[in-house]
Structure 1
Amino acid sequence: MAAILREHDPRSILVTSEATPELWEYTSDLVTGFASRGIDVTLALLGAPPSPSQLRILEILPNVRIEVTRLPSVVSAESATDLSQATSTLLAAANEFAVDLVHLHSPMLAGTKRWTMPVVASNFSCSGTWWSTKSTGQMPADLMWRTRATAIGMSILDCVIAPTWAHACAVTDFYGAGLSLVSVPIGRRPSLKINPSAEKFVFSAGDIWHEGWNASTMDKIAGSLTVPMYCSGEPRSLSGSTVQLKNLRCLGQIDSQNKDVVLGQASVFISAATYDPVGIHVLDAARAGAALVLSDLPGYREFWEGAAVFVNPRNADDFVGAAESLLGNSQWRAEMALNALDRSREYGTERMLQGLLHVYAAVLAKRAIALTA
């Protein structure tokens, strides 16, 4: 039975997304959750079209419309012109289908002018906050125009949604105060592949090509462990550059179901990331029953304080020491894995959906008040 909508809940939404594995899982949970509540959803997809298997679950929902735009994705866009074309297409779709609200997956898609309906955007990561983690060097031109587009987009949005308060603070520090910012944690469904016995190998996952994933440190860790270390993810960037790994055994990009199987067998999950605002792979590892060894980042602390071992992301030896200690002490490993599993249950899809609907209702109510003032 569909949930009863409140006065300021949207009756129809346009949601944007891309078919990348992590973003698609998030989008599928959103669309399915909204549709189950009787909300009409128009899903506008940028970038490469999704596979038939990706679409299958959403296509059977009666109140979901899927628009494959084939426009450049946020990542593959080469200029602000590419993004302005996407913005125009999305605005036309929002007007055509008379949606109550638009939820963009990046502030860059908001464009430069105020929309005719309320618009919110998720800031999962951005060039500005990523660059602020680096101590030296001038921002490259490709990141500079993206940073400008993000700043302009956020200035006209009704609300910016960050996955953690730590990232919301980073956004404020870099782009300045005055933005309407909230934090709504990412949520996941419970894993069905938990293996309490676990096997003695270490696992990781992420955008291996991205500098923030810290591939050089991860490879050093893999070379010093007494057990195998595997990772899933794409080592090749869109520009064609490839991260070279000597010790870490890369499985390539694997779907969520197969990743859950591997995570359910791993003893320890390591993230040595220097930038990871969302932390979705850590959440996946925790809900699958792996013990966590993580970079000492504010966002990781926010989610996993007391449920993970924290390490300086530049110190490979400390990661190795923490992982080997967990591998050699089954009681401690089981305790840390259980702590992480219990914590992961706080971040389910229902909490995420309720948080987003609360944001939507507040934005719609504010617009309604402004129109009658």
Structure 2
Amino acid sequence: METHHPSKILMTADTLGGIWTYALELVKALSAAGTQVALALTGNPLTEEQRQAASEIKNLTIYESNYKPEWMDSNLDDVARTGEWLLQLRDEVEPDLVHLNSLVHASLPWNKPVIVVAHSCVVSWWQAVKNYNAPKTWDKYKEFVTKGLQAADMVVTTTQAMMHMVAETYGPFKQSNVVYNGRGQQHFRFGKKEPFVFTMGSIWDEGKNISILAHIASDLAWPVYVAGDNTHPETGQSIELENVHFLGSLTNNEIADWLSRASIFALPARYEPFGLAVLEAAMSGCALLVGKIETMAEIWGNAAKYVDPNNADDVRDTLQSLIEDEFCRNIMACRAVKRSHGYTAEQMAQDYTYLYSKLIRNEVPVY
């Protein structure tokens, strides 16, 4: 059967979160199919670590900008300028297909098949975290995202639960699929496990909900280590909490080292469409404690302990139970490792290559 792998893709990403990690993993894994990727970046300038990581991927060409990602700006001031820049790149790169990891630009006149991956969105975040609709200031964002997703030739999410949320808010779509994220196991290792709880993120991130973990830490028998800062990014306010150790910003190698030694990884999130950090912890042999939300249950099944993210007593008691029960901890760690084998970068790339080929083979009409 003839294959129709794209030889060249124009992909978007931002430099500020998990999409950067996702994009690098995917691009690297796509090299097996001979696919070259032009990666158009929004957000902050690349760090030296990011630039070094990108330079090691032979099928990747980076294009940088200083435009803001749409999720940072309810007024969407940079959307038009970003769109003009992306279309210029389209003309320069001449891709076979466009892979957008942002939500608003699929409605541009690409004249190419367009796939959009909805990793997260402001509207679903607001509903999950605040339990009410996003303020009116985000109406323009919702309008632009709806237009973009409905124009896409295919919409992808990283879980079925996220697809339900996105389709309900922005649908209907022309085509849709779920592709689970993946990571390369070679980045992570098992070490001698030590008596501490580890987590990653900002204590002010209401979605990740690390604050509830930090505030019950004084009741735990083990210390809690946080890969993140204790200084608020806007106010400069710093906090000190008993039994909580803030490690600041860590390199990927440092995170891998901490995960290899952590006995428990905890992320009692209210909103987490996939959770690459949880996958990294599972690949490192940690017992997992996560928020009881649909996306986490879909990904981890019986390989994690679940807690009500709004119930501090539940978080404390479940964590303390894991701390006290070494046998249970070991069982949960083994389940997490086994489950993580289903979320590899290679499988992710195979799934995307299939979708790319499907779009190219169908000679998707231009709208």
Structure 1 length normalisation: TM-score?
0.89
Q: CA 1:322/1:61 → structure 2, altered by over 3 Å: closer, same or farther? A: closer
Counterparts of 1:278-317 in structure 2, within 5 Å, are 278-317=274-313
- Mapped to 2, the partners of 1:255 and 1:164 lie a distance apart of 27
1:32 to 4, 14, 28: 28
- State the one-letter code of the partner of 1:44: A
Separation in 2, partners of 1:139, 1:80 = 15
Q: Which residue of 1 aligns with 2:119?
A: 124
Alpha carbons of structure 1 residues 61 and 172: separation in structure 2 relative to 1, 3 Å: closer
Q: Does 1:205 align with 2:200?
A: yes
Q: Does 1:158 align with 2:158?
A: no
8 Å CA contact 1:21, 1:256 repeated in 2: no
> Separation in 2 of the partners of 1:26 and 1:339?
23
Give the counterpart of 2:98 among 95, 102, 105: 102
What is the rounded CA distance, in whole Å, between the counterparts of 2:8 and 2:136 in structure 1? 38
What SS does structure 2 have at the residue aligned with 1:14? strand
Q: Which residue of 1 aligns with 2:89?
A: 93
1:209·1:236 contact (CA, 8 Å) conserved in 2? no
- The correspondence for 2:241, drawn from 240, 243, 246, is 246
- How far apart, in 1, do the equivalents of 2:251 and 2:79 lie? 28
> Percent identical across equivalent pairs?
29
Cα separation, 2, equivalents of 1:91 and 1:235 = 40
C-alpha change, 1:107 and 1:6, in structure 2 (3 Å) is: farther
Please tell me whether residue 145 in structure 1 is matched to residue 145 in structure 2: no
Unaligned runs of 5+ in 1: none
Instruction: Give the letter for the 1:304 counterpart.
Output: W
Residues 40 and 137 of structure 1, relative CA distance in 2, 3 Å threshold: closer
Change (3 A) 1:43 1:319: same
For 1:264, the aligned partner's letter is S
**1:314 Cα shift?**
1.2
**Residue type of the alignment partner of 2:145:** T
**Change beyond 3 A, Cα 1:223–1:183:** same
Match of 2:358 in 1: 362
Residue 223 of structure 1 is aligned with which of 218, 223, 244? Answer: 218
Computed over aligned residues only, the root mean square deviation of the Cα atoms, in angstroms, reads 2.4
Tell whether the 8 Å contact from 2:102 to 2:117 is kept in structure 1 after alignment. yes
CA displacement at 1:296 relative to structure 2: 0.9
Counterpart in the other structure of 2:43: 47
Q: Secondary structure at the match of 1:81?
A: coil
Contiguous gaps of at least 5 residues in structure 2: none
Going from structure 1 to structure 2, the CA distance change for 1:306 and 1:250 (only over 3 Å counts) comes to same
CA distance in 1, matches of 2:231, 2:143: 26
The amino acid of 2:175's aligned partner reads S
Aligned residues: 364
Aligned to 2:7: 11
Contact 1:210 1:237 in 2 (8 A): no
SS at match of 1:102: strand
Question: How many Å separate the matches in 1 of 2:152 and 2:237?
Answer: 36
Identify the match of residue 326 of structure 2 among 318, 330, 333: 330
Q: Aligned with 2:281: secondary structure?
A: helix
The 5 Å alignment of 1:245-284 reads 246-247=241-242, 248-284=244-280
Q: Which residue of 2 aligns with 1:72?
A: 68
Structure 2 residue identity aligned to 1:367: E
Question: Displacement, 1:75?
Answer: 4.1
Following superposition, the deviation at residue 118 of structure 1 comes to 1.1
Amino acid of the structure 2 residue aligned with 1:185: Y
Q: Does the residue aligned with 2:207 lie in a helix, a strand or coil?
A: helix
Residues in 1 aligned to 2:2 and 2:54: alpha-carbon distance in whole angstroms:
24
Say which SS state the counterpart of residue 212 (structure 1) adopts.
coil
Contact 1:166 1:299 (8 Å CA) reproduced: yes
Is contact 1:208–1:243 with CA below 8 Å preserved after alignment? no
